[in-house]
Structure 1
């Protein structure tokens, strides 16, 4: 949920609770005030009735005046607690029953007591409360609507600089020449945020460029002596005066130097992938490239008496030819290196995925570890970075690489 939506929802809920509580209090307050007004009117009517009884000096009679209704009942009681209460009565003028408010008290005439009940209509009060309630609810609905609309559009405008800054952060590439600038904002917090991000991006870019330069220099400086050593070893290997033991030792050194060179190149490539420095992309017919790879690895296959089976459908991807070449080289090398003598490699390609199956060890590999750096078998002569490169290249293009073992087959599936 977006922050603006969360704020709008929270503000509307809290406002609704406050307004509902206020509406309830307001309703009962209006009802109480109206009731007090009726009671004051009843008290005045009661006072007039008592004066009427005393002044007429005769038995009081029931009377109706407009919507006021008075009843006198002779009683033997000499004490009666005055009370106000809600009731219903028949209004002779309207010829119907109505809700009313009544007062009951004792009136004395000479030696006789009369219980007087005066009732007045409560219909006007009820109608007034209903009108006030409807108006209050309408105002409440209108206020909530205005609050929702204003929050929705005002907050969207208020958060626009933040959204633009976030968009620029997502598009920021540490290798680009253009630095993070941020969108100007009159809001102090957003302006301060842009300033902090701009300063941080400058520090990160500076550190990255220093690290990049160091990596490139170190790689170059390492490759130069490695090339010299390799050349010298090539010359030594051609020397016919070397004994078998000396030749074996030089061959081991030569193999280690080549491994160091490959390791250096692999680590440099990983650094470029992780920093998204390889951006060249062209349309590549993957089925054609796979056919070429099978021919390239044919000689290596024959050394282990391996055979290819394939089912290739046309598939085109937009990628770097250099990275696709490394991806397939590592998958092919892995399938050949870890295969058993006389084994089989099955390659299947369709519009959705590429799968490479090979026979080999009769147990499953650790799916969580095989793509980690420097994870390799005990007898492996590789650098331990092949499948790590495969995983990083897949992540670079949004592919999904998955390994599983079933019925003696090790399968790597690459979903586009």
Structure 2
């Protein structure tokens, strides 16, 4: 069954059930399906004509540039329905880059098996196009929904652009199950809390960067939350303990994945507390192996054009109980005059310090050592930066001291909910 056929089924069976809430604007399954059929996608998106030969069923890519969440979703689904290849552009992409992206797609072409395109997060460079078949998601939805406890009565809150693969996959997976998605365009955590309470949300999907924002602004308990689904990105014990206080009934389910490979491993908060550094065990039907410290993943639910066994050059090993222990991405290391410093390990250490709410380590060029790093920190109200610096100097060797520690009120985030380290580096270079 295709995604569109699944939505048509819900439109026929429960047309008045709420599928989506965007800033208090409610859309039923009937309304969503009708909008998919009536959307005139060709007039509001950038079209890239392809030369694929007579055997090709699809001959154009539609670059969706609308920044409205509901329009991104409807246009993406409408393109699937009409047999085109949709790709939602990140909101921060300028016209020049979209022109460049269109030129790359036209020049490089698209795999014949592709049904839609996704963009990498672009945290270390320009976002790159990747291509997927619809089956690479839809045939995995039941597997991931079972792990994440997503059912037809699920109400999930998430925040972010539909262009972020994690958001788009989760939204479609929830709609696949017949559940309800609640979201907002607002970056204010107080608004997130209002919607969670108003609609009795039972799931939250968010990366730790946004969970930290939620913790900082939440003054009451969110009793309705049963599950928090999050990426294992820079997870720390303090954050988990804070979330347990404001969401006393929740279970934490974390995952490790990649845009190229979908979900790879998962684990609960309790498992992480007993094995700090783990990213869990493989999802059903997924296999993992380690070779020379590099993680290899075997799965059929991957992007087009790569083999079933593939690596994104993440580093780690498998412990005696079958848990994958994660050491960061290959190259995620600062070479400070020959002394190697792991960026994930340094961020985890700095995040663990009393009074530190959020942190990001940014590599910079150093005339003497070649490379060095600075740390940007968001501190709790009562924390003093001077005392945190004093503690670092006491606990770490001088070669591991940041060249500078800069306090800021909030870390900048990309559309993909990841820390925008390119922007932080720009800020430092301008100082």
Q: Whose RCO is larger (CA < 8 A, sep 6+)?
A: 2
- Name whichever structure is richer in helix by fraction: 1
- Name whichever structure is richer in strand by fraction: 2
Fold shared, TM-score > 0.5 on shorter chain: no
The structure number with the bigger radius of gyration is: 1
TM-score, length of structure 1 as denominator length: 0.19
TM-score, length of structure 2 as denominator length: 0.19
